[in-house]
Amino acid sequence: MRPRVYIDGHVGTTGLRIREWLARRTDIELLTLPDHSRKETSARKDRILAADLVVLCLPDDAAREAARWAAHGTTRIIDASTAHRVAADWVYGLPELAPGQRDAIRSARLVANPGCYPSAVILLVRPLIDAGLVARTAPLTCHALSGYSGGGRPMIEKWEDPAGGLRALVYEAPYALDRVHKHIPEMVHYSGLQREPYFEPAVGPFRCGMRVQIPLHADVLLPRADAGRVWEVLHERYRDEPFVRVMAIPAQGGTHERSFDPQACNDTNRIELHVLPHPSGHVLLMAILDNLGKGASGVAIQCLNLMLGFAETMGLPFSHREESREHP
């Protein structure tokens, strides 16, 4: 029998993308509910308990409640909310996190899907901390730019409302300047940092896409590492990863205004990592990804594939409008 998969919250931005990418597959049975009952508690409970695997695309409190419904059953769960990302009894669903993480995901019953910003920060920083190039106590700063779909339906409606005129902005709009962003705990927990980074997120006048930048002051790099050594560590860590691409260090003067388009990985499950040297010895780390691809829905499908025994790349696009060769 084909494994049965149910997406609880399939009309949200993450759920819609997961459903779109799974709907074309013939190796799973996608359970659904009619629109008139998709919010009914009893109907949702029945679907959750009937499924082999459930993907929760819900607000945090609703995700906690749904997870409790399945607590004493055999249904396996991938939670795309922030509710369980640092919980002790949940496995963090970032396959590229560290050696052994894939095996942990394969055997887990409870998997917490990573956030879009943390995925980029962790993949950039964790290998450097593991290699001793950056101290765990380093005071890091992260500036990140995301498409407005990252804020879910309320932000999408706000930015796409013609009366607001936000789509006509010619600059990015910083946000969360007066609070600790909800992604900070997982950034710290899984990157290996012991100090909270200064995180400055911003929204741009485009729907999807993300660029995350972490400047490393020359004094932060240990022991006197340079961009070449940083690149080597990242390349060695991710050389066999199908969805992580460590881009070549550009030649001096080899970049221009369009070199780092935050939408370059849109509609894919790819993340591109850049190492950019500065003449003063500083290094800029940069990641580009689709906040609804590798940043949310795509990595959830990676975990789903691992948990159900499929090839990890099954049904996931590597490049724009390109399907995995293993798509059934």
Asked if 57 is an active-site residue, the reply is no
Distance CA 67, CA 69 (A): 5
Confidence of residue 318 (pLDDT cuts 50, 70, 90): confident
Confidence of residue 37 (pLDDT cuts 50, 70, 90): confident
The residues pairing with 204 across neighbouring beta strands, listed in sequence order, are: 147
Convert the pLDDT of each residue in 70-129 to its tens digit: 988 899 999 999 999 999 999 999 999 999 999 999 999 999 999 999 999 999 999 999
Confidence of residue 327 (pLDDT cuts 50, 70, 90): very low
pLDDT, mean over the chain: 94
| Residue 324 pLDDT | 40
* DSSP assignment letter at 114: P
Summarize the confidence of residues 284-311 as an average pLDDT. 98
Summarize the confidence of residues 130-158 as an average pLDDT. 94
Name the active-site residue from 57, 116, 208, 265: 116
Q: pLDDT: is 324 or 176 the higher one?
A: 176
Distance CA 237, CA 169 (A): 38
Task: Please say if the pLDDT value at position 321 is more than 70.
Answer: no
SS3 200: strand
Distance CA 187, CA 164 (A): 33
Confidence of residue 320 (pLDDT cuts 50, 70, 90): low
| Residue 72 pLDDT | 80
Planar angle of CA 113, 118, 120, nearest 5 degrees: 110
| Residue 114 pLDDT | 97
pTM of the predicted model as reported, rounded to 2 decimal places = 0.94
What is the CB neighbour count within 10 angstroms for residue 19?
18
| Residue 53 pLDDT | 98
**Pairing status of strand 244-246 against strand 271-277:** parallel
